[in-house]
Structure 1
Amino acid sequence: MGQRPIVEWWDELDEVTKKWLVDNPGCVVLPRTVANVVHQVSGGSVAQDQHGEHLLSDAEQSFIRAKCKAAAGSARKHW
């Protein structure tokens, strides 16, 4: 089984993990705590290295940056 795309499991993430990802859109390697949550939610389809970290693919990085931009746009509307 291949890796499930982030779009398939994003909505299953808890709000704290989503917030961390959106607040850190330039992060390429997820820290172990975030990687563990992502690994569980993705059904184990997201690979972790020997340190428990996950290297984000280009598609995952693009998806997270889009979520970050959407969140920033939404925040500006509330001013």
Structure 2
Amino acid sequence: MSLKDEWDRLDSETRTWLLENPACLVLPPAMSAKISKDAQEDIACDPQGQVVLSREDHDFLREKAEAAGTIRVPAGEYRFFDTATLPVVGKAPPEARHNATG
């Protein structure tokens, strides 16, 4: 299955969810069931019955999400959109380490 080929058969709720979650690698069970139900082709699923998206599917979703304005990412840069930015952690000054241990 290719999301590009199935896109027009998907309902608007499913399309919206996909555009808001373009970095999803495996679709949740409920979303997988909705897509499988309406698909014209056989859909590859993992052992739990969840649809696994291909690189082409991710590229397609990214293009659609950028066009819809749900994401803005420079071309060629892949990011996980559902993760928070990690904080920068530095070493504590020597006096703070001393006070914490003694």
* Common fold by TM > 0.5: yes
Aligned residues: 70
Alignment deviations for residues 36-78 of structure 1 (CA, whole Å, 9 cap, x no partner): 11112223511122212111000001101111001008xxxxx
Match of 1:69 in 2: 66
Return 5+ residue gaps in structure 1 as ranges: 74-79
Match of 1:46 in 2: 43
Determine what percentage of the aligned residue pairs are the same residue: 33
CA contact 1:25–1:61 (8 Å) conserved in 2: yes
TM-score normalized by structure 1? Answer: 0.78
CA contact 1:39–1:47 (8 Å) conserved in 2: no
Aligned CA-pair RMSD:
1.5
Return 5+ residue gaps in structure 2 as ranges: 71-102
TM-score normalized by structure 2? Answer: 0.62
1:22 aligns with 2:32: no
Structure with more of its chain in strand, by fraction: 1
Alignment deviations for residues 16-51 of structure 1 (CA, whole Å, 9 cap, x no partner): 110000000111110011111111222351112221
Give 4+ residue runs of structure 1 displaced > 4 Å after superposition: none
Q: Report which of the two structures shows the higher radius of gyration computed on alpha carbons.
A: 2
